[in-house]
Structure 1
């Protein structure tokens, strides 16, 4: 999926200039990295607000057209207003096609309804992790990673090591062990009913 949006160079700096921009429906942002100077930019608030609602915007290589000069970037940080539905600032990092990048990719859970845990055990599937920190070249970045729950039994879990990762993608895992991605727990009512039948 290709996502491209427009921006203009931002000359005025500082909090008062940023406030004026926001009142005018503009959104301040910055592009940094890639061995070049940081570039302060203005974006259209409404355009970016709607793009931020799309899952793919957070885990895709993006193209920013800055007054005709195109920059290839990933979204690194979003600052929201404390209580309004308003974006305050966006940080983008330039992408080098030959350098691996770290990015969080969403997990899509499929086939829970056909798993033995749900069909036979009336279990509840808990999604313990909803995104995964991955490392890969920009050209190999997946929009999402699928978690197939078709074989999940009651009391079982799916771990990070069991995920099928696309070619060229590796887990950028921090910490010890093999984290749980999803688990199947029997609903309390179903467990009590089973115990009653057994008695």
Structure 2
């Protein structure tokens, strides 16, 4: 079972008006779907979700969704935020089947970057081309994040998807699509590439108009 529990209550009222009344009451409209059960509309205390949303686990870990005392495991699939206020407007949760592989995105945690050869070389920029990746695994094997150890990253080095160390039971679906999907995750290169002077000295040629008068006679 996951370590994080979200308490919710079922709701019957639908529509924008009902959702607006919920928000005025500091409640958040949400829906849970998937599995063999029908989609269910629920409501959750906004403050509890706001606090949970400040943590990485809320976005990538299995959650125990407690609806009126009945608990089921879910993943957060969508979050709608207010365009400028610190408010969450709506949540989508997906039910999880313990025996069925799921696909979701997890964050990448970069380790030992500053102590790597590239990190200790002046003028070198280490770029994180990806900060999250999509994985596939059974719910019991779901990691909260993937660690990328950059201890040996050299100047000019590149870490690809295929270089990532994966926990047991975890796969990267992108790698099954072909070599062209084995994209760069981290790149270390000089911040300012040395300009190559490709302008060779021009060969002096005598224009036709400058030809010798003697040759013209």
Equivalents in 2 of 1:91, 1:120: separation in Å? Answer: 45
Native 8 Å contact 1:7 1:64 kept in 2: yes
Three-state SS of the structure 2 residue aligned to 1:116 is coil
Equivalents in 2 of 1:9, 1:118: separation in Å? Answer: 52
Native 8 Å contact 2:174 2:181 kept in 1: no
TM-score by length of 1: 0.91
Native 8 Å contact 1:121 1:154 kept in 2: no
Matching residue of 1:183: 187
Q: Which moved more, 1:52-61 or 1:173-182?
A: 173-182
Native 8 Å contact 2:8 2:67 kept in 1: yes
Native 8 Å contact 1:110 1:149 kept in 2: yes
Three-state SS of the structure 2 residue aligned to 1:93 is strand
Once the two structures are superposed, the pairs formed by residues 51-70 of structure 1 within 5 Å of their partners are 51-70=52-71
Three-state SS of the structure 2 residue aligned to 1:113 is coil
Q: Which moved more, 1:142-151 or 1:119-128?
A: 119-128
Equivalents in 1 of 2:105, 2:48: separation in Å? Answer: 23
Once the two structures are superposed, the pairs formed by residues 45-124 of structure 1 within 5 Å of their partners are 45-124=46-125
Matching residue of 1:3: 4
Equivalents in 2 of 1:117, 1:94: separation in Å? Answer: 43
The Cα shift of 1:7 comes to 0.3
**Number of aligned positions between the proteins:** 190
* Superposed CA RMSD: 1.4
Equivalents in 2 of 1:173, 1:69: separation in Å? Answer: 36
- Segments of 5+ residues of structure 1 without an aligned counterpart are 193-199
Native 8 Å contact 2:29 2:89 kept in 1: yes
Native 8 Å contact 1:6 1:66 kept in 2: yes
Equivalents in 1 of 2:24, 2:131: separation in Å? Answer: 35
Equivalents in 2 of 1:136, 1:130: separation in Å? Answer: 19
Moved over 4 A (4+): none
Equivalents in 2 of 1:121, 1:161: separation in Å? Answer: 28
The Cα shift of 1:89 comes to 0.4
- Segments of 5+ residues of structure 2 without an aligned counterpart are 195-217
Equivalents in 2 of 1:61, 1:163: separation in Å? Answer: 22
